[in-house]
Structure 1
Amino acid sequence: MNDSSTLNWLVDQVMKALEKKVEDRESKPHMIAEAATSYEMLAQSHSGELPSDHSIDEVLPHNIPEPRWAEGMEELLASTPARIGVWRTGTRPLTSTMLALRNAHAAAIDAVFSEVSPDLLQEMNLFTVETHYGDMETFLRRPDKGRRINDEGVALMREKCVHRPQVQIVVADGLSANAIESNIRDVYPSLMNALEVYGLSCGTPFFVRGGRVGCMDHIGEILHPEVLVLLIGERPGLVSSESMSAYMCYRPHAGTVESDRTVISNIHRGGTPPIEAGAHMGTVLYKMLEQQTSGIKLIM
């Protein structure tokens, strides 16, 4: 279970304790102590696992009690992870709902301002180049700075990378380092397996720090791959801070328009499964090479 679910479970336990306090004021010291103990146990735990006697249903926000159209509400809730149908206290959301929302917002901020672990990059055998992003404030205010690799990075790419590869794989932090940390170990091997199945050769993969989607065009001008796939962290939302996208393009170059890119988005454990996404990328790249195009002109 992830940290968000753990916190939601904790909030639920605290709320239950407060509800019992209202019912039986004499139990107040016992209930508050029980809630505090639960918090301490979770704070000291690094496993992120919920106690075995608690199901996933218990960590979800409280929904509307006795809705007029119960079946419709159930169908709507099953169709989206968005925060809909949550109940209220007076004119305000439930405390548990608000705490869960603040937790998700904090996770989104952390995803933007955190960095991909050097240990992970070493594990995946990815060397690092940087764009002209400078610092995080500039990166957020000036997207154009993340679209071109700096001079040192260009020299490193020319030195280490295979030129004119059939498939070039690039990983970039984008707007969520957390997305790379959470998915790359599953996506990357799956993609490599798919390329092997289709008989496609791969160039030298590497990592771009401070990268935006447009950096694939600059990389295309330097390495001249037939097709390039950019695995990049998506802008985090309040449902997931771990969502990654794969942007693929046939012979990317300066002036490539967005309609020439093919994208697989929402790659995370609650969306498009990472292993499935990696396998599908192999199919898409194969068709790009076969049809010598990408984006809206590509026939899948």
Structure 2
Amino acid sequence: MNPSLELEQFVDRVMVELERKFGSDTLTDDPKSESVSMEVKGAVSANASTLTTIKVPKPKWQEGLAELIESTPARIGVWRTGTRPLTKEMLKFRCDHAAAIDSIYGEVNEQILSRFDLFTVETRYGNTENYLKRPDMGRIVTAAGEELIRVKCRSHPQVQVVVSDGLSANAIDANLPDVYPSLLDSLEAYGLRAGTPFFVRGGRVAVMDHIGELLEPDVLVLLIGERPGLVSSRSMSAYLCYRPRKGTVESDRTVISNIHPGGTPPVEAGAYIGTLVHKMLEQKTSGIHLDL
């Protein structure tokens, strides 16, 4: 089930319970303070339209506000009651905030890692609190991790795929089952060979440089959980780099961000990553120097 839909249903159930306990007059629209929701036609394309709920009472440009709300999942025109947000909007905000915290402090489902035969190494991050304060510790694999990588992985692979929780373990759980198979299919279609994939716990983007030193791949692909927001706590990024090594600068990396059902579709992202890898190998570069 869509996690956003689950939260919406939860908030609706809480609102019903609050109205039962305190009465609807204290929670529903008040003509003196809260908004009166209106259903209006909001154009989403040249050939389609949808109903949009406008919470702002008597907006000066109703169609423009509807179009703005249609264009972004951000909190636009949520309105207020007095000086505070509407009860339902406040509850939704708290739910989204809690989901973001869960993403940062959660752990990737071991069944997902086992499903794709990903062994695990750790960085020197120590724990989540330290990870947040010391990004540099998430860029270095532990000595035990280095040894495990050398033993289990093939050196000098054409393409090395690495997965990391980063700042959202939920992003890996939600997107890897679609992204990873699509990526492998795309690499196979281009006749490219992938090395031994693995999972890095507590990784930062630049951990790919350390791994690059260890395995010396032609291209390294890092699938990593993004910093969660209040719109999506399950968003993944894919960082790609041609021959990453110590001293690699950020402009040498190519990134696909916002990989989740409400952003870049995971299956589509996996296929496109394969296309980017193919271009990098052809042009022997990545980042700002890559001609797309």
> TM tier, shorter chain?
0.7 to 0.9
Q: 1:62 to 1:96 in 2, by over 3 A?
A: farther
Counterpart for residue 36 of structure 1:
none
Amino acid at match of 1:135: N
Q: What is the DSSP-based 3-state SS (H/G/I as helix, E as strand, rest coil) of the residue aligned with 2:247?
A: coil
Q: How many residues align?
A: 267
Does residue 277 (structure 1) correspond to residue 269 (structure 2)? The answer is yes
Correspondence for 2:149? 157
Match of 2:63 in 1: 71
Assess if the C-alpha contact under 8 Å between 1:161 and 1:204 holds in 2: yes
Contact map agreement 1:130 1:153 (CA 8 A) in 2: yes
Q: Distance in 2 between matches of 1:296 and 1:8?
A: 40
Q: CA deviation at 1:92?
A: 1.2
Q: Distance in 1 between matches of 2:10 and 2:238?
A: 35
Corresponding residue for residue 38 of structure 1: none
Aligned to 1:119: 111
TM-superposed deviation, 1:272: 0.4
| Gap change, CA 1:187 and 1:279, over 3 Å in 2 | same
Residue matched to 2:94: 102
Alpha-carbon distance in 2 for matches of 1:9, 1:156: 45
Q: 2:140 aligns with which of 129, 133, 148?
A: 148
Amino acid at match of 2:184: M
In structure 1, the residue matched to 2:228 is 236
Secondary structure, in 3 states, of the residue corresponding to 1:174? coil
**Pairing 1:115-194 to 2, within 5 Å after superposition:** 115-194=107-186
Deviation at 1:61, TM superposition (A): 8.1
1:178/1:242 contact within 8 Å kept: yes
Q: Work out whether 1:9 is the aligned partner of 2:9.
A: yes
Kept after mapping to 2: 8 A contact 1:139/1:210:
yes
- Deviation at residue 199 of structure 1 after TM alignment: 0.7
- In 2, Cα distance between equivalents of 1:152 and 1:268: 33
* Contact kept in structure 1, 2:54 and 2:66, CA below 8 Å: no
- 3-state SS of the aligned residue for 1:110? helix
Describe the SS at the equivalent of 2:257: strand
2:7 partner letter: L
Q: Is the 8 A contact 2:158 2:219 kept in 1?
A: yes
Instruction: Provide, for residues 118-137 of structure 1, a one-character-per-residue CA deviation record: whole Å limited to 9, x for no partner.
Output: 22111111000111111111
1:108–1:238 CA contact under 8 A, matched in 2:
yes
C-alpha separation between the residues in 2 aligned to 1:263 and 1:209? 20
The residue identity in structure 2 corresponding to 1:219 is I
Change in CA separation of 1:235 and 1:22 when aligned onto 2, cut-off 3 Å:
closer
Normalised TM-score (structure 1)? 0.84
4+ aligned runs moved over 4 Å, structure 1? none
- Name the structure with the higher helix share: 1
Q: Work out whether 1:221 is the aligned partner of 2:213.
A: yes
Q: 1:157 to 1:10 in 2, by over 3 A?
A: closer
CA distance in structure 2 between the aligned counterparts of 1:61 and 1:144, rounded to whole angstroms: 45
- Calculate the TM-score normalised by the size of structure 2: 0.87
CA deviations on 1:223-262 (whole Å, 9 max, x unpaired) are: 0000000000000000010000000000000000000000
CA RMSD after TM alignment? 2.1
User: Residues 122 and 13 (structure 1 numbering): CA distance in 2 closer, same or farther, change over 3 Å?
Assistant: closer
Give the Cα separation in 2 of the matches to 1:91 and 1:98.
Answer: 12
Q: Which segments of 5 or more consecutive residues in structure 1 lack a partner in the other structure?
A: 24-56
Give the Cα separation in 2 of the matches to 1:122 and 1:10.
32
Partner of 1:42: none
Secondary structure of 2:12 counterpart? helix
Query: Partner letter of residue 189 of structure 2?
Result: V
- The structure with the largest strand share of the pair is 2
Paired residue type of 1:184: L
- Percent identity for Structure 1 against Structure 2: 63
Q: Does 1:208 align with 2:200?
A: yes
